[in-house]
Amino acid sequence: MFQEFYFRNLRFTNGYILLLIVFSSCALLICINLFTIKILSANRAYINGESNYSKGQKDASRFLIHYLFTKDNHKWKLFQEELKVPQSAGIARETLVRFGDNEIARKAFVTGRNHPEDLDDIIWLFENFKQVSFLSKAIIEWEQADKLIVKLSALGKEINNKINNNNLSPDDQKKYLQKIGSLSDELTINEHNFLNTIGEGTRKIKNSLIITNIVFTLIIVCSVSFYYSMMVKRLLASKKETEIKNENLILVNHELDRFVYSASHDLRSPITSLKGLIEITQFEDNIDQIREYLTLMQESLARQDQFISDIIDYSKNKRKEIIIEPVSLHELIDETISQLMHFENVSQIEITKEILADKIQSDRLRLNIIISNLLSNAIKYADNSKQQMFISIKTYIDNDLYKIEIADNGIGIKEEFIDHIFEMYFGTNKNKGSGLGLYIAKEAVEIIKGNIYVSSESNIGSKFIVTIPRSYGI
């Protein structure tokens, strides 16, 4: 019973573990996807920011070249305005490195034409992943580009001074044009490297996300499959268990119908006999005959008393829970013998005991039912024609079993009856017993996980051997 409870609880526990794995995997998968989406969104913001950075730098270079050859003040202002875009990005980077998230960095990013809604993602990625390889490389490229922007700004100021002082010669124009082109080429390389690095990181994150999704999806699918399989097995087991219980219920109902029918008949039979004997006795004057009738009445009452006792044993055996406790076989056998001393001819029977196993762990109620029924049968079916009648009781240990032997030299059992003696209401002599005793004894033996064996010869005697386990597996 404990094993069944343990394995049932284990199955429930495994089911809960699988469900926990499924829910945990789903929760982790959602968190990982949200986290990854946030990273990818931040990467997109960086790519947009680089696009603005690159456009601002290129437009500034273009306006500076126009200013170099046209000396148009408007072009100079446009140069300064466009140069603010990469310069502001540089200020934002320097501020984040030194001071972290603050208003200066945020204003610088906005001046650098980054969308205000992207600022949280840009700063979050910078602060939490600046040591990660792909972003670390991108920040280095960004820093190098900022240094080139500083050079471009200085070059613009130098050109502006030349123009304002009217010192700009055609050779200077060629020289400055070459420098602007060189700086622009270097910046283009940095910008491409920045984009490639961010792109590579994005691809790695995407691939990692795909692998993670596949792994967690497999875990969820496998867990759900195992859980489904377990539930199907449990339903099949439950169905089989229900079918077995239904079959057992049908057998029990059949047995109960038979029991009720036979019990009602056996309870009424002695009453009918008593009523008949009483009526006959009322018209009898012969004292000896009256005594004979009274003896018959006493026998009829004794049979009814025995039958009621058997019914009580049957009920106890069916309903009482098994209680494994220390039991003294020596005391139990002595108590049973003392309770059977009122049986006819018991004083003429020699009862011998050989108790080699006394203290055992078993169910006292069932042991009492078993020993009482076997001893009462041995007494009731004693052979009065034999000069010496005996009953031998022996208990001993045989490997992992306790054994109880009860042998007698009574009337024995005919060979054709041997296979039926443990059936309900089977009796070789209805005047001697109810036909319930051995049936109840066998049931009691099976309840305590034992066995009962019989060997017998007609007119020679019988031997019953009961085996009981020395330990009960839990």
- Two tokens, residue 330: 């020596």
Structure confidence at residue 128 (pLDDT): 87
Amino acid at 198: I
Place of tokens 């309903």: 319
Distance between CA 382 and CA 460 in Å, rounded?
10
Which residues make Cβ contacts (< 8 Å) with residue 11, sequence separation at least 6?
Answer: 230, 234
Q: What is the pLDDT of residues 191-247, one digit of tens each?
A: 899 889 888 887 887 787 788 888 878 888 887 777 777 777 877 888 888 888 787
* DSSP calls for 238-292: HHHHHHHHHHHHHHHHHHHHHHHHHHHHHHHHHHHHHHHHHHHHHT---HHHHHH
| Inter-residue contact 61 to 180 (CB < 8 Å) | yes
Q: What is the pLDDT of residues 86-120, one digit of tens each?
A: 999 999 999 988 888 889 989 999 999 999 999 89
Helices then strands, each counted (H, E), the chain: 10, 7
Distance between CA 205 and CA 39 in Å, rounded?
8
Structure confidence at residue 81 (pLDDT): 94
Element (DSSP H or E) covering residue 395: strand 389-398
Distance between CA 80 and CA 73 in Å, rounded?
11
Task: Report how far apart, in Å, the C-alpha atoms of 110 and of each of 52, 95, 106 are.
Answer: 11, 14, 6
Q: Give the residue ranges of DSSP H helices in 100-132.
A: 103-111, 119-129
Nearest to 369 by CA among 421, 320, 428: 320
Q: What is the pLDDT of residues 390-407, one digit of tens each?
A: 999 999 999 889 999 999
Averages of pLDDT over each 10 residues, the chain, 474 residues: 45 67 80 81 87 92 92 93 92 90 90 91 87 88 92 93 90 91 91 87 80 82 76 80 80 59 52 70 77 71 61 61 88 88 82 91 88 88 90 92 93 88 67 68 88 91 93 65
Structure confidence at residue 178 (pLDDT): 94
Structure confidence at residue 316 (pLDDT): 58
